[in-house]
A and B are shown apart, each in its own frame.
Chain A
């Protein structure tokens, strides 16, 4: 008789769970997932406040990139049609997200705050080519409302407060 009792105990033990509150919570699949303030994924090239392309083709991002996904073709120094001063230009800029580590070192070194990151979700594509950001696509990504919190000058401010935020016009 004692050998059959555990069977009964097992039945009672499992049935008792039916009335109890559930231990497992349903997965929050239907709730919109909150995106953290500092979330960032894809890149954008931006214009400066004078309406010019901010990138001066200095190739610092290309040099610091650990996975060497950035390819910059410098355009040489020319006279700016807006200010009349000479400044550098960039002829072509390619960023291959396939191998990008999202380390944002390119953003940190940029002296002109020309390359920034977006608070949008990670881009997806059907082919590897879909994830290669050409210069046109990088400028198309310039959405002021979606820019991430940081830029090169913000990083400079954090790391060296005495230097202060560098006004872009002084550099130009």
Chain B
């Protein structure tokens, strides 16, 4: 793929990702409302579809208030860094055999782990630069949480790597061809690894039940406390983008990427593979985040770390061992 084509795909995919992230706020409000027997947004546009536009218009008119004691440069650029870093994660996602920016990067998943781990930096910087105790507390919690959940995330992410024998995203998808999606095959480790990976990704993206860094009820929004107007929106957008890319990574690693369920039965054509399957899987996994968010409560900070170190890390280590044995004995690698 030539550089120009990659660039164009990147621009289009990045814009689409931001578009989806903006509209996911509508979707979250609508879905959450239905989960709670409410109608949700109904006023702007048909079934409230233009609500994000109205929100954006309103937020663009808001004054960007920078606290006098804040570190002004860091305060302003940290949301942009967060959003840019999150968008960089989209680069290695293979959306189909042909669509994608750098799906053939040989360190694909490593790139996701590395850049994803870096994303704690803009969060921390945003909280520190605000010069606000709530923002600082939120940032500290965010750092502690991201760093500890990085470990089980990596370990459970190693399961599909072991099974596929490659870090390259499109090779991981290729290894799942023929309906051998890692979430279902081998039975057991794959599904458990998906569960672990998904939970840890929620923690990485600061979503409920692991959103103690934001915790509106006790930290007034944590890192985002002082960020107003558009820079606040960008910080929020980065979080939604992170959730979206998490869903896309899960779809790639565990649900066969662009392969559709038609391939299980030996069919061909649009039922068996295509961009739409990847998009569909991503959106379904994305919606799952909202379902969890509006059903569960957030864990306390200490419970959060206890879950990680006492349960998730041993579980992911055990999973890794079981998968290694499976690969050695059954697949004879």
Contacts and interface: CB of A to CB of B under 8 A. Distances in A.
Q: Is the pairing of A and B real?
A: yes
Contact of A11 (B34, B37, B38, B291): B291
Contact of B35 (A18, A21, A23, A24): A18
A22 B38 CA distance: 5
Interface in A1-46: 7, 10-11, 13-15, 17-18, 20-24, 26, 29
Contact of B291 (A14, A22, A26): A14
B295 A22 contact: no
Contacts of A21: 37
B295 A23 contact: no
A21 B38 CA distance: 9
Given A17-B34, A18-B34, A11 B295 contact: yes
Interface in B130-172: none
B314 interface: no
B276 to A, nearest CB: 24
A24 B38 contact: yes
B301 interface: no
A24 B37 contact: yes
Interface string B172-196: 0000000000000000000000000
B113 interface: no
B67 interface: no
B265 interface: no
B39 A13 contact: no
Nearest to A19: B34
A29 B43 contact: yes
B114 interface: no
B42 interface: yes
Contacts, number: 37
B321 interface: no
Nearest to B42: A26
Contacts of A23: 37-38
B34 A10 contact: no
B39 A10 contact: no
Contacts of B3: none
B168 to A, nearest CB: 34
Contacts of B37: 17, 20-24
Nearest to A10: B295
Interface in A29-87: 29
Interface string B28-60: 000000111111001100000000000000000
Nearest to A9: B295
A15 B34 CA distance: 8
Contact of B292 (A11, A26, A29): A11
A14 B287 CA distance: 13
A24 B291 contact: no
Contacts of A7: 295-296
Nearest to A7: B296
A15 B36 CA distance: 9
A10 B293 CA distance: 11
Interface in B253-299: 291-292, 294-296
A21 B295 CA distance: 19
Contacts of B39: 22, 24, 26
B72 to A, nearest CB: 38
A10 B35 contact: no
Contacts of B34: 17-18, 22
A21 B292 CA distance: 21
A14 B294 contact: yes
A14 B36 contact: yes
A5 B34 CA distance: 23
15 contacts: A11-B291, A11-B296, A14-B294, A14-B295, A15-B291, A15-B295, A17-B34, A17-B37, A18-B34, A18-B35, A21-B37, A22-B34, A22-B39, A23-B38, A24-B39
Interface of A: 7, 10-11, 13-15, 17-18, 20-24, 26, 29
